[in-house]
């Protein structure tokens, strides 16, 4: 209890610096008011979240209406961030890689609906589903290949191997899902697509991207690279506001583009111009339309969450921009850099926000959506409505409703347990306990009070409603705001017998780390509440722990569950050199003797 005054003081003082008031209205063509408010918001968010540098560009069709930098590209040398500052833009890189793939489609060198192995002869991966269809490039681009998210061994390292070796590195790995089972984001998939582009173009990937995409777009300061650009315009990375070094990246097609907000603006203008950039036809209008077309409307487990070729086409929570037609977006992030791009193709409006601080992940998204929603009002008169908090339903929960929800779930946020508490429901997730409060709309929302006396605003998490649904004999949790629904998780049961897995409990060390970036300070296999968990203490997060449910499938193989109970990445145990080792994502782990 001695820490209570300190905690309360921090929270109270944080509340003293209020966010700037949003304009009551924005007049038509008044981008000046948008700029004035977003400038104040940027300064507020950067101070609140200890962000060193940030740049933003707002695009109206073929015109950059505002581009500016805030804070520092290099804090120690007092070099300010500008619209020309170069950042690692992370996964926004995928949009450029997918653009290059569509160029090859137009040239007749690639059919994205043919098996991937036709273009990547060395590709092979195991599957737990004998009836699984072959993976295609289209499924790579829409994140429906079922491939693991990453092949972690060699992903970030001082001396990365060529990403083209990945096809041979994953022969002994398992797919996480059969193709088209469910949306499952994969850096690995886009890196394999980069190998296809290199093979079919007959040029090194980075050189093809430079000649066929970046230079024709006028992105003269941008480049695909394994690490930081050598340009004097390159921003330094910060862990909060402490200078640090971002490790080099092997998976260049998935996240290796270094660029500025001015350069990325040219890419958005190209999309608005149906593939034209100046005198260059980067893509045909039909290809642009196909990239923005929902690719997964026939995947039941995706509900109405839509994704195009590269572009995310659905939003949820406070990131939603309503009544504006299609909202195309993509986030990016490395350890130290974060980025966000949003476009409204029907209104030819777009925004990109780039930052060089590890603490800016939510900042870039909030600033981007606020800037775009105000720009939309200035251009079209469409104003985003204020969303009042849903009032709680004060009626007691019916017994049958309680029975429907209580249980254990594997979710996007890890293991969760919904249980009764008092006359209602509570959820235990990510080392926190939340009240589940049913609103007047029938949806449940997380509510958190510090020591039961001080309500904490959960932001987007508290804004999203939860409901339950049964589909294909799966008891599913669905996140919902308005009409948008996204799969969150599935109810699970503990394994009936852990058998030989009980003897594997304990601490593990990676024995083939080499010069890879060390993501975890500690790795443990533990048993809790009848389940097995792989628990990692993250290296860059002040001791934050991540737990993933490990569901045994045999004596020697288990699956790290994602949002579904029968899919995820595989952990295998083998005997080598007289000792048992765990194999996961290219790493070998050995139990530490105690």
Q: Are residues 453 and 338 in the same domain?
A: no
Segments of 177-241 assigned E as strands:
223-224, 237-239
Collapsed DSSP state (helix, strand, coil) of residue 225: coil
Q: Is 299 exposed, middle or buried (0-12, 13-18, 19+ CB in 10 A)?
A: middle
Query: Does 172 fall in a domain?
Result: no
Cα–Cα distance measured from residue 117 to residue 191, given in angstroms and rounded to the nearest whole number: 14
Residue 360: both structure tokens together: 């800016």
Give me the pLDDT at residue 285, please.
Answer: 98
Phi, psi of 153 (to 5 degrees): -60, 115
Q: For the domain that residue 559 is a member of, what is the CATH number?
A: 2.40.128.210
Last residue of a domain, one of 466, 492, 518: 492
Q: Are residues 363 and 413 in the same domain?
A: no
Last residue of a domain, one of 468, 492, 516: 492
Query: Does 156 fall in a domain?
Result: no
Q: Are residues 301 and 319 in the same domain?
A: yes
Q: Are residues 214 and 338 in the same domain?
A: yes
Query: Does 254 fall in a domain?
Result: yes
Average pLDDT for runs of 10 along the chain of length 594: 36 57 87 95 97 98 98 97 98 98 98 97 90 95 98 95 96 95 97 98 98 98 93 95 94 98 98 97 98 98 97 87 95 97 98 97 96 96 83 87 95 94 89 89 77 43 83 94 93 93 96 94 95 93 88 96 95 92 97 86
Residue indicated by tokens 């294909």? 472
Give me the pLDDT at residue 236, please.
Answer: 97
Residue indicated by tokens 């601080």? 357
Query: Does 212 fall in a domain?
Result: yes
Phi, psi of 211 (to 5 degrees): -75, -35
Q: Are residues 427 and 293 in the same domain?
A: no
Q: Are residues 253 and 104 in the same domain?
A: yes
Give me the pLDDT at residue 578, please.
Answer: 87
Give me the pLDDT at residue 454, please.
Answer: 39
Query: Does 162 fall in a domain?
Result: no
**How many domains is the chain partitioned into structurally?**
3
Give me the pLDDT at residue 574, please.
Answer: 96
Give me the pLDDT at residue 453, please.
Answer: 38
Cα–Cα distance measured from residue 339 to residue 553, given in angstroms and rounded to the nearest whole number: 38
Query: Does 193 fall in a domain?
Result: yes
Give me the pLDDT at residue 450, please.
Answer: 43
Q: Are residues 236 and 290 in the same domain?
A: yes
Give me the pLDDT at residue 11, please.
Answer: 35
Collapsed DSSP state (helix, strand, coil) of residue 261: helix
Rg (CA), the chain: 24
Q: What are the angstrom distances between the C-alpha of 163 and each of 145, 156, 173, 211?
A: 18, 11, 16, 20
Cα–Cα distance measured from residue 241 to residue 21, given in angstroms and rounded to the nearest whole number: 26
Domain that residue 412 falls in = 399-492
Query: Does 145 fall in a domain?
Result: no
Segments of 34-148 assigned E as strands:
53-60, 63-74, 79-80, 87-88
Query: Does 307 fall in a domain?
Result: yes
Q: Are residues 533 and 484 in the same domain?
A: no
Last residue of a domain, one of 457, 492, 527: 492
Q: Are residues 104 and 252 in the same domain?
A: yes
Instruction: Enter the DSSP assignment of 91.
Output: G
Q: Are residues 202 and 253 in the same domain?
A: yes
Q: Are residues 375 and 408 in the same domain?
A: no
Q: Are residues 244 and 368 in the same domain?
A: yes
Q: For the domain that residue 314 is a member of, what is the CATH number?
A: 3.40.710.10
Residue in 162, 128, 163, 165 with CA at minimum distance from that of residue 146: 128
Q: Is 75 exposed, middle or buried (0-12, 13-18, 19+ CB in 10 A)?
A: buried
């Amino acid at each position: 209890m001695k820490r209570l005054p300190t905690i309360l003081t921090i929270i109270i003082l944080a509340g003293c610096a209020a966010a700037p008031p949003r304009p009551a209205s924005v007049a038509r063509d008044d981008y000046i008011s948008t700029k004035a408010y977003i400038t104040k918001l940027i300064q507020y968010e950067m101070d609140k979240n200890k962000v060193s540098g940030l740049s933003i560009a707002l695009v109206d069709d073929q015109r950059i209406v505002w581009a500016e930098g805030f804070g520092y590209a290099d804090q120690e040398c007092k070099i300010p961030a500008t619209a020309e500052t170069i950042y690692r833009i992370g996964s926004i890189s995928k949009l450029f890689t997918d653009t290059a793939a569509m160029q090859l489609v137009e040239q007749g060198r690639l059919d994205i609906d043919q098996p991937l192995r036709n273009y990547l002869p060395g590709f092979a991966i195991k599957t737990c589903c004998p009836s699984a269809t072959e993976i295609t490039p289209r499924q790579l681009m829409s994140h429906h290949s079922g491939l693991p998210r990453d092949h972690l061994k060699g992903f970030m390292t001082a001396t990365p191997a060529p990403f083209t070796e990945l096809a041979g590195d994953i022969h002994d790995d398992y797919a996480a899902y059969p193709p088209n089972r469910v949306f499952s984001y994969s850096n690995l998939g886009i890196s394999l697509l980069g190998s296809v582009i290199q093979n079919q173009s007959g040029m090194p990937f980075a050189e093809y991207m430079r000649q066929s995409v970046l230079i024709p777009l006028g992105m003269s300061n941008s480049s695909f690279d394994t690490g930081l650009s050598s340009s004097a315009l390159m921003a330094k990375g910060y862990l909060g506001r402490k200078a640090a070094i971002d490790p080099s990246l092997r998976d260049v097609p998935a996240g290796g583009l270094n660029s500025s907000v001015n350069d990325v603006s040219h890419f958005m203008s190209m999309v608005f111009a149906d593939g034209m950039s100046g005198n260059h036809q980067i893509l045909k209008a039909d290809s642009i339309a196909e990239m923005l077309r929902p690719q997964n409307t026939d995947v039941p487990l995706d509900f109405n969450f839509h994704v195009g070729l590269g572009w995310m086409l659905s939003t949820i929570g406070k990131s939603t921009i309503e009544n504006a037609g299609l909202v195309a977006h993509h986030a990016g992030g490395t350890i130290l850099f974060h980025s966000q791009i949003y476009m409204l193709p029907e209104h030819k409006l777009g925004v990109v926000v780039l930052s060089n601080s590890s603490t800016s992940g939510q900042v870039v998204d909030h600033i981007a959506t606020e800037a775009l929603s105000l720009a939309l009002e200035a251009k079209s008169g469409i104003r985003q409505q204020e969303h009042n908090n849903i009032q709680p339903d004060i009626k007691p929960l019916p017994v049958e409703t309680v029975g429907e929800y209580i249980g254990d779930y594997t979710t996007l946020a890890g293991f969760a347990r919904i249980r009764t508490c008092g006359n209602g429901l509570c959820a235990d997730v990510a080392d926190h306990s939340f009240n589940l409060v049913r609103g007047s709309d029938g949806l449940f929302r997380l509510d958190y009070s510090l020591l039961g006396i001080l309500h904490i605003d959960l932001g987007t998490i508290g804004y999203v409603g939860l409901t339950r649904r049964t589909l294909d004999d799966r008891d599913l949790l669905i996140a919902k705001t308005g009409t948008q629904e996204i799969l969150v998780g599935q109810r699970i049961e503990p394994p009936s017998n852990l058998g030989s897995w009980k003897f594997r409990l304990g601490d593990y060390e990676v024995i083939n780390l080499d010069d890879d970036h060390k993501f975890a300070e500690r790795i443990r296999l533990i048993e809790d509440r009848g389940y097995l968990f792989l628990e990692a203490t993250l290296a860059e997060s002040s001791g934050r722990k991540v737990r993933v449910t490990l569901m045994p499938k045999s004596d020697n193989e288990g699956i790290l569950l994602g949002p579904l109970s029968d899919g995820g990445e595989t952990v295998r145990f083998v005997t080598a050199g007289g000792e048992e080792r765990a194999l996961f994502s290219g790493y070998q782990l050995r139990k530490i003797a105690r």
